[in-house]
Structure 1
Amino acid sequence: MEGFLTVAQVAERAEVHPGSVYRWLDDPDVPLTKHKTANGRVRIPEAEADAWIKRRNTPVVVPATPPAPTGS
């Protein structure tokens, strides 16, 4: 299937264990579509996988909050 990756290929690109990819596929908050081949193997669209890997590797910056007044 051209344009699709195996679970192992996605795991390698994301530098995670293949089990993590299977968990992502079961998580409704993760935007990955699971496609099964005729023999039951799982394939993931390459563009979706690359976008998800980029998104999950983007650091989230949380602005520092000023210290609470002590009331003195």
Structure 2
Amino acid sequence: MLQLLFAVAFSAVPLTLYVPPIRSINLFVETIEDFLRHTAVYSIRLYPRLRHAFYRLLNSLLHFSRGCCS
């Protein structure tokens, strides 16, 4: 049983290297929130333009598929 305990303890030590400290996680979350806050401004302006461009493209494809030049 003692050997199993040591095996589990020593196998878990390398895993602690991959887990950042709590203060680093807070900084990471704060950075992600800041990034999302800044990109939301651009995406709000971009979505109507993309939707309009998509509808124009779809309309032109439907127009040419109907045989407009007959």
| TM-score between the two structures when normalised by the length of structure 1 | 0.27
| TM-score between the two structures when normalised by the length of structure 2 | 0.27
The structure where helix makes up a greater share of residues is: 2
